[in-house]
Amino acid sequence: MQGQRDAVSLSRTESDALGRRRRGRNWALLAALLAFSALFYAIAIVKLSNHQ
């Protein structure tokens, strides 16, 4: 895979576009993980309060 990437030559614009997309994906993943954690936390709190 790395070899294939090295073999493709990118212009500056293309390289910037790739970087933007990669950053976008990373932010989206962070948001999804935070949302998932918040959901689990909320479910746990509700379940615990229902048991009390």
Partner 1 sequence: MSEIAVLGEGRGEAQSPLPALSAPELDISSPADWLALLKPRVMTLVVFTGWIGLLVAPGHLHPVLAVAAILCIAVGAGAAGAINMWYDRDIDAVMRRTRNRPIPAGRIAPGEALGFGITLAVASVLVMGLATNVAAAAALAVSIGFYVFVYTMWLKRRTPQNIVIGGAAGAFPPVIGWMAVTGNLGLMPVLMFAIVFFWTPPHFWSLSLWAHGDYQRAGVPMLPVVSGARETRRQIVLYTLLLVPLTLLPWALHTAGAIYGLSALALGLGFLASVWRVARDRQDARGVSLTNDAPARAAFKYSILYLFVLFAAMAVDRLVG
Give the residues lining the site for partner 1 (CB under 8 A). 1, 4-5, 8, 10, 13-14, 17-18, 21-22, 24-25, 27-28, 39-40, 42-43, 45-47, 50
Residue 10 or 34 with smaller CB distance to partner 1:
10
Look at the alpha carbons of 19, 21, 22, 24 in this order and tell me if their dihedral is positive or negative.
Answer: positive
d(C-alpha 27, C-alpha 44), whole Å: 26
Residue 50 or 52 with smaller CB distance to partner 1:
50
- Are 18 and 10 in contact by the 8 Å Cβ rule? The answer is yes
Residue 34 or 39 with smaller CB distance to partner 1:
39
